[in-house]
Amino acid sequence: MTIPQDTAPPDRGRPEEIRAVAVRHPGRWVAVAVIAVLAAMLGHLMVTSTVLHWDVVGQIFTYSTVLSGVVKTLELTVLAMVIGIVGGILLAVMRLSKNPVLSGASWIYVWVFRGTPVLVQLFFWNFLGALVPTVGIGIPFGPTFASWNYNDLIGLFTAAVLALGLNEAAYFAEIVRAGILSVDEGQAEAASSLGLTHAQTLWRVVLPQAMRVIIPPAGNETISMLKTTSLVSAIALEELTRAGQDIASRTLYEIPALVAVSFWYLLMTSILSIGQYYVERYYSRGSNRVLPETPWQKVRKNLVSFQRHEGAVR
């Protein structure tokens, strides 16, 4: 845009660039000093400790039982989350239903499964065989067509998946419910005025928009689930934590085993966090004018802007 000559302010030249003395932050230097000392102490411990055995940590990290423990942990996480998410959506839809029986049933489910510790539920599923020795298909209180022994049907792994998944469903239901309630009522009205059925409105219009609210806590739940699977070691299922413990009790390298296991958890949760970021980005389409940058785009932009702004006032 150009400003007509006669209305332009009198040209007095561009004023001198401001080069002010920056405000001092003595507190920052104190913080740096404290943290540096603590870090140095930790570093010293790690290097000089006689129980850490970094070479052993490395060996345990790639030991075959640990690796298969990692696989088991991932399997547990994925399956439990699938049950949790599907069950959670179902429970949330039931809870918001106009049918009082469905919404009441959903409420009771959430009440029971959120009100008892997941470890107790885990034991429960593992020992349910004592209460229900056989599981069969037939007419309730009538003849049975086929039946199985509970402990044959529900092994250790299935019990663990069920316990974690059904517990997760209760938490996830609340997340989904909050997401559905966050969508403007006008959306459902517009959809039904177009002739979409309740189910189509839910799947095509409401849930995709609810996803933006659901995804961040869902990511946290997944990361949390990955760590919660370590509870399964209590029913002697050989997942990552149990694998580490077994090595520790066999070799007495307790600390290296814990460190190796921790590194695995940290690695997996980090990868999940990155995945969560991209999923969130996908579901934010339409709500932002421009898609948020990927971390890599951000780094590149920062590098460029850093070069440009160098020397100027910040």
Partner 1 sequence: MSVEPMVRAEQVHKSYGQVEVLKGIDLEVQQGQVFCLVGPSGSGKSTFLRCINHLEKINAGRLYVDGELVGYQEKNGKLHELPDRVVAQKRRDIGMVFQRFNLFPHMTALENVVEAPTRVKKVPRAQAREQGMELLTKVGLADKAGNYPSQLSGGQQQRVAIARALAMEPKLMLFDEPTSALDPELVGDVLDVMRGLAQDGMTMIVVTHEMGFAREVGDSLVFMDGGVVVESGHPREVLTNPQHERTQAFLSKVL
Name the residues that contact partner 1, by CB under 8 A.
Answer: 184, 186-187, 189-198, 200, 204-205, 208-209, 283, 285-289
Burial class (CB in 10 A: 0-12, 13-18, 19+), 15: exposed
Kind and range of the H or E run holding 213: helix 207-228
27 vs 195, beta carbon nearer partner 1? 195
**Which is nearer to partner 1, 200 or 269 (by Cβ)?**
200
CB of 179 to partner 1, least distance (A): 13
Give me the least distance between CB of 185 and partner 1, in Å please. Answer: 9
Angstrom distance (rounded) from CA 197 to CA 217: 29
| 294 alpha carbon, distance to own chain's centre | 19
Nearer to partner 1, 71 or 194 (CB): 194
Q: Closer to partner 1 by CB, 9 or 195: give it.
A: 195
As a whole number of angstroms, the distance between CA 93 and CA 175 comes to 12
Backbone dihedral region of 229: left (phi > 0), alpha (psi from -120 to 50 degrees) or beta?
A: alpha
26/186 with CB nearer partner 1:
186
- Min separation Cβ 127 and partner 1, Å: 45
Size of the chain, expressed as the number of residues it contains: 314
Toward partner 1, which CB reaches closer, 187 or 305? 187
Q: Which is nearer to partner 1, 78 or 196 (CB)?
A: 196
CB of 93 to partner 1, least distance (A): 15
Q: DSSP per residue over 273-285, as a string?
A: HHHHHHHHHHHTB
Smallest separation (angstroms) from partner 1 to the CB of 190: 4
CA dist 265 and 243 (Å) reads 13
Least distance between partner 1 and beta carbon 187 (Å) = 6
- The identity of residue 7, as a single letter, is T
Question: Quick one: tokens of 150?
Answer: 């509970």
Helix or strand or coil: residue 22?
coil
- How buried is residue 151: exposed, middle or buried, by Cβ count under 10 Å (0-12/13-18/19+)? middle
Beta carbons within 8 Å of 112's beta carbon, 6+ residues apart: 170
Q: Whole-number minimum distance, CB 271 to partner 1, in Å? A: 27
